[in-house]
Structure 1
């Protein structure tokens, strides 16, 4: 055997525990590894180290040496290597092997006293068997439903060994083939999508395939034939004869095939079937055909027929074209056609375009809205009911098929299931407790006269500094406060927000034990906390906040499947390969993409100007310029008379007076300054503001702009600044008002952004724990939590990585000095019962 073949084979052997659900092991196969013969054996029910060593005629110490993990005990389904002994009869199956169960019964845990040992003993099985046939159960809680394997003597004698992922309900292989069908998982498919495809519940799939929670392409799973007799192996799209069954997407730089499958909920095979060119790569600029789902072809109906134009989409039409034709922003079209939030237009479908209402209707709606707001302001609360709801001229009826249905596995757990469970929460913050205590101590020195009176022989000439220290009296005044050490005030506020969230969840009946670790800014202080046995019992980790000291915590979290939340840092690569890592702050690249979308969707027919103050090539700001230019080009309106004009204005070269020459009186002038230097931004914005009364100008900024003290806030209003931000606080919302009052009454200060962030992050993830347990990853898109400043929507960032919040808002500064949130992006429209 060639060396390369041996290496490949060895790697395959190492990967067997992870591939077990994806392929069936050939029982007791003999392989050669590094010139030595080994038997690959899958541990079956009833086997022990002693029984295996006896059957295969090998010393048990040698078995442990080659497979060191079995020191902790054998696990059903594990693959182990056994030294091959000549003359061993591999065809002779040992009588102690029970094989797979012939059937199951169910047991529901009714009290905390029902431990795994208690349950196993009650049914005459081993603990290993109980765990092996309930792999999805992480903790044995009240209300948990368990499978209890049963064996019949006749079936044990007849049954052939099968792989771990085979169905185990039926007595013989022949009866399996009559009652079950096989489905091979395709790339991009999920448990939920397969359940919908075959019209079964997720629980039914998991019953036959306990390992199906973590699906991999190529894995074979088994489904009841009775529910799939009229179902093909691929989904059938029920489309109208005139509606196309695909839409088009232009591949943009930075996009990946995996990202597109996630974005549009399709598989790679489905995309490749419509786009043969994908076999040669994933080229930017190519037009990709994406299959549309059947529910998305349904048309919504207006309540008021006169309020909308019904436009039937023709071949080649785009959202940009409809926006230009009807003089309406693309976000407005999406608002009344929710399916367009997740895909582009389908040829033949009907799109609702809101008409501009008559002046009388506009006046009536404005008066009615003012009446409602005045009543709510007096009552200082949201007014429920229909009588005071503002009538909407543009109300529509959305078919029940359109909102996203919550999968069965993501329905919130009943309160009784976790009422007796205590959740262990670890919080890592740089509070600098000792430094703050020292900083706020007041040290008083007794005057020299008192020293001489008490020590008459001591004079100023002979008192050394070290001796004088013995007379220093430290006095700590509780009512005196000097300040916070370094930037720890922000993290104290964050901690206070955490405490309020914990208190809210405890009042809701959740038992929480919060452990706080002062990390300072030292990785050693973190290691002391995480490398302990007790820490492995943690249910949720929040922090550390600095990426450079997250390494040890992230490693422990990944190895032990503990969800870890990075609450503040936005620039970290840890989310790329840690499936239990959650980044709350979207990174700069994502915000740049959403900003480019804002410009392209709302200003594709504007006069776009890059206001150059210095060289921006190779910077993050320069990357945004490239993204905007690419999206404007893909709109099809770049350079056209009715489309966008794109120009770069060199402020250093042309000075403040040249800008007037490229501004337009006929189009909206959209200006972006690719710089993060406050001085450059201040000078540039000041010069642009001088022209705000003569031209209609929109400034594209970032969430950092309002923090620059050298820029007058009225400039942002004059220039109608817009930016994309993950945070927005509605100070008129009753829940926000209540939170601020509660914060002030507990901590005697107003909450800043850190205090609000501490509350939002903790409140959100505690709700995730309460509703779904520790493994809440796949259910976060369906978690609806009322937060103060965030709109979280966590999405997977890579195939084997973690999650990042992609819920953002578009913030707009108005010329009447209001600051409003124009819209929220990234949230699902969930179906209600």
Structure 2
């Protein structure tokens, strides 16, 4: 029995982010040299400096995995001067540009008992079904030609892929049974069966369908190279999570459908009905593209996850099937305020007339809701050292001073830290500092002050690189892709690991049980709650990062 089924897989070789920033994309010209091999026409392309598998496949309007299948040597890497075969493809949404008439070279077919269209090396995430769909043949045909017993395949196995119809002739010549693979028919449920499925999710025996919608660079219309590159890295992290789930849940039967929203827009994917039959939809990744798909998902009773974009949480007000992974600012600040002690002296500091007035109001509300008494201090940085006496008047020496700075301005925060450092070093005040996530990205602030004042920050994402799970993920990512995982890679792993495991655990009762589901992730903590009791789901989970005087840091999860 197959454990993991992936219908549409794109695999990319990409440059590290630093390289993409350093070099402009290299133009790839369509070759005028064409040959025909066993009835299939190929361009012969000579690889030029800095061209990549991704850029070449995009220029010729084919997927990278087709390039690798036709040129197995590419598994060892792409080198300048290599000559590779690229099949001519005409059935994509964006047809290949016409080239001037050229002389074609006919290569005679090799004598063989069966005509073979390709030799395919099995990857760890593939199944016999996904390979058959890729080449337009049946599982039975591949099994016959390769003498597979029970339809079983294994990683790195080399399979001969016949042309459609060739396997029957081969079977007759070799007296091979015509039914070596047991076919499983999946029936599209009608409304009555859908209701029955809701009442008894266990009856599906762990068989589920998830759809992933991400921009993969299939055309120039939907996203930039930078955005598509980010989501190649997202997809790579997603695949590692799939493999881990297959190992964790023995017998899981998960069908993953992957849609390139650069090739076909997200709204068109929904309108065409391609997402029907999904038990879960992950994506689109941009909030501006979500609502058409979300509307379809709502009408068809399918949960939809917004996996990346921090905006778009307002959609949860209208769609009860919507999961927004990004944690709203109110919940980030709520988690931070929950770590403030009610026995200390609390001072709220903010910039007078600054741009963070809404954030200041949120912080005030959180303090009020928590029943905490506090003092306030607001000033402009033009006040300079003149503000020091007013600052000191709000501090106490007999207790810890908990200073909450509601500002994202690096200049203002620098001034606050300077004043606090003076009072701490000269007068011996005990200070515990609370800041915002943006402080981690300041360039001109002395980080030593974060440690000396025991800074706490509430974060949506934080990777603890000393974690065994994180170390394992990084090692596997390097091994598989010869690159370093990015924040997108970590995010994809967390999204796939959490939601697909929850889908397997709860089936179509996922929405009823997601609030109590807990799972250890790499860079996030997911704590989903319904907005206003009956609307969509928002994530209240955060990690509170604490800077210690010994220059260490640690985190704690919050938000449940």
1:646 pairs, out of 366, 375, 381, with: 375
Q: Does 1:758 align with 2:492?
A: yes
Q: Deviations over 1:444-500 (max 9, x none)?
A: xxxxxxxxxxxxxxxxxxxxxxxxxxxxxxxxxxxxxxxx83344433322211111
1:45-124 aligned at under 5 Å gives the runs: none
Question: Is the CA contact 2:454–2:549 (under 8 Å) kept in the aligned structure 1?
Answer: yes
CA distance in structure 1 between the partners assigned to 2:486 and 2:242 by the alignment: 18
Quick one: structure 1 residues 426 and 607, their matched pair in 2 at CA, closer, same or farther if it must change by over 3 Å?
A: same
1:162-561 aligned at under 5 Å gives the runs: 417-418=205-206, 421=207, 423-434=208-219, 485-507=225-247, 508=249, 509-520=251-262, 525-561=265-301
Hey, what does 1:137 align to over in structure 2? 197
Quick one: structure 1 residues 621 and 533, their matched pair in 2 at CA, closer, same or farther if it must change by over 3 Å?
A: closer
Offset, 1:559: 0.7
CA distance in structure 1 between the partners assigned to 2:363 and 2:532 by the alignment: 25
Offset, 1:731: 2.6
Offset, 1:140: 8.7
1:676 pairs, out of 391, 398, 408, with: 408
Hey, what does 2:458 align to over in structure 1? 724
CA RMSD after TM alignment: 3.3
Q: Deviations over 1:387-444 (max 9, x none)?
A: xxxxxxxxxxxxxxxxxxxxxxxxxxxxx922xx3x33222223435559x9xxxxxx
Q: Deviations over 1:648-693 (max 9, x none)?
A: 1424464235325323322222223332233333443344344443
Q: Deviations over 1:149-187 (max 9, x none)?
A: xxxxxxxxxxxxxxxxxxxxxxxxxxxxxxxxxxxxxxx
Hey, what does 1:825 align to over in structure 2? 558
Question: Is the CA contact 1:539–1:563 (under 8 Å) kept in the aligned structure 2?
Answer: yes
Hey, what does 1:780 align to over in structure 2? 514
Q: Deviations over 1:298-323 (max 9, x none)?
A: xxxxxxxxxxxxxxxxxxxxxxxxxx
Hey, what does 2:71 align to over in structure 1? none
Q: Does 1:563 align with 2:351?
A: no
Instruction: Considering Cα pairs closer than 8 Å and 6+ residues apart, tell me whether 1 or 2 has the greater RCO.
Output: 2
Offset, 1:622: 1.6
1:621 pairs, out of 359, 375, 383, with: 359
Quick one: structure 1 residues 542 and 689, their matched pair in 2 at CA, closer, same or farther if it must change by over 3 Å?
A: farther
Hey, what does 1:322 align to over in structure 2? none
Question: Is the CA contact 2:211–2:280 (under 8 Å) kept in the aligned structure 1?
Answer: yes
Helix, strand or coil at the partner of 1:704: helix
Helix, strand or coil at the partner of 2:522: coil
CA distance in structure 2 between the partners assigned to 1:140 and 1:796 by the alignment: 23
Helix, strand or coil at the partner of 1:742: helix
Question: Is the CA contact 1:427–1:514 (under 8 Å) kept in the aligned structure 2?
Answer: yes
CA distance in structure 1 between the partners assigned to 2:217 and 2:360 by the alignment: 38
Instruction: Mark the structure with the bigger radius of gyration.
Output: 1
Hey, what does 2:417 align to over in structure 1? 685
1:592 pairs, out of 333, 342, 348, with: 333
Helix, strand or coil at the partner of 1:789: coil
Question: Is the CA contact 1:649–1:659 (under 8 Å) kept in the aligned structure 2?
Answer: no
CA distance in structure 1 between the partners assigned to 2:436 and 2:301 by the alignment: 35
CA distance in structure 1 between the partners assigned to 2:540 and 2:281 by the alignment: 20
Question: Is the CA contact 1:720–1:813 (under 8 Å) kept in the aligned structure 2?
Answer: yes
CA distance in structure 1 between the partners assigned to 2:360 and 2:541 by the alignment: 24
Q: Deviations over 1:89-136 (max 9, x none)?
A: xxxxxxxxxxxxxxxxxxxxxx9789899xxxxxxxxx99xx49x944
CA distance in structure 2 between the partners assigned to 1:564 and 1:493 by the alignment: 21
CA distance in structure 1 between the partners assigned to 2:414 and 2:234 by the alignment: 31
Question: Is the CA contact 2:459–2:542 (under 8 Å) kept in the aligned structure 1?
Answer: yes
Quick one: structure 1 residues 735 and 527, their matched pair in 2 at CA, closer, same or farther if it must change by over 3 Å?
A: same
Question: Is the CA contact 2:435–2:455 (under 8 Å) kept in the aligned structure 1?
Answer: yes
Quick one: structure 1 residues 532 and 809, their matched pair in 2 at CA, closer, same or farther if it must change by over 3 Å?
A: same
Q: Does 1:791 align with 2:525?
A: yes
Question: Is the CA contact 2:547–2:553 (under 8 Å) kept in the aligned structure 1?
Answer: yes
2:399 pairs, out of 650, 667, 690, with: 667
CA distance in structure 1 between the partners assigned to 2:463 and 2:549 by the alignment: 20
| Structure 2 unaligned regions, length at least 5 | 1-182
Question: Is the CA contact 1:115–1:140 (under 8 Å) kept in the aligned structure 2?
Answer: no
Quick one: structure 1 residues 608 and 137, their matched pair in 2 at CA, closer, same or farther if it must change by over 3 Å?
A: same
Question: Is the CA contact 2:322–2:537 (under 8 Å) kept in the aligned structure 1?
Answer: yes
Helix, strand or coil at the partner of 1:798: helix
Hey, what does 1:806 align to over in structure 2? 540
CA distance in structure 2 between the partners assigned to 1:630 and 1:819 by the alignment: 29
Offset, 1:697: 1.8
Helix, strand or coil at the partner of 2:275: helix
Question: Is the CA contact 1:656–1:687 (under 8 Å) kept in the aligned structure 2?
Answer: yes
Q: TM-score, normalised by structure 1?
A: 0.41
2:344 pairs, out of 587, 596, 606, with: 606
Quick one: structure 1 residues 649 and 614, their matched pair in 2 at CA, closer, same or farther if it must change by over 3 Å?
A: closer
Offset, 1:617: 8.4
Offset, 1:504: 1.8
Helix, strand or coil at the partner of 1:740: helix
Helix, strand or coil at the partner of 1:658: helix
Question: Is the CA contact 2:309–2:326 (under 8 Å) kept in the aligned structure 1?
Answer: yes
- Tell me the matched-pair count: 369
CA distance in structure 1 between the partners assigned to 2:188 and 2:462 by the alignment: 47
Hey, what does 2:79 align to over in structure 1? none
Q: Deviations over 1:262-304 (max 9, x none)?
A: xxxxxxxxxxxxxxxxxxxxxxxxxxxxxxxxxxxxxxxxxxx
Hey, what does 2:385 align to over in structure 1? 656
Quick one: structure 1 residues 732 and 434, their matched pair in 2 at CA, closer, same or farther if it must change by over 3 Å?
A: same
Question: Is the CA contact 2:316–2:536 (under 8 Å) kept in the aligned structure 1?
Answer: yes
CA distance in structure 1 between the partners assigned to 2:495 and 2:435 by the alignment: 26
Helix, strand or coil at the partner of 1:767: helix
Quick one: structure 1 residues 765 and 689, their matched pair in 2 at CA, closer, same or farther if it must change by over 3 Å?
A: same
Quick one: structure 1 residues 670 and 656, their matched pair in 2 at CA, closer, same or farther if it must change by over 3 Å?
A: farther
Question: Is the CA contact 1:610–1:674 (under 8 Å) kept in the aligned structure 2?
Answer: yes
Q: Deviations over 1:301-358 (max 9, x none)?
A: xxxxxxxxxxxxxxxxxxxxxxxxxxxxxxxxxxxxxxxxxxxxxxxxxxxxxxxxxx
Deviates more, 1:571-580 or 1:674-683: 674-683
CA distance in structure 1 between the partners assigned to 2:354 and 2:302 by the alignment: 41
Question: Is the CA contact 2:356–2:406 (under 8 Å) kept in the aligned structure 1?
Answer: no
Q: Deviations over 1:734-768 (max 9, x none)?
A: 22221111111112222232211100111111111
Question: Is the CA contact 1:698–1:720 (under 8 Å) kept in the aligned structure 2?
Answer: yes
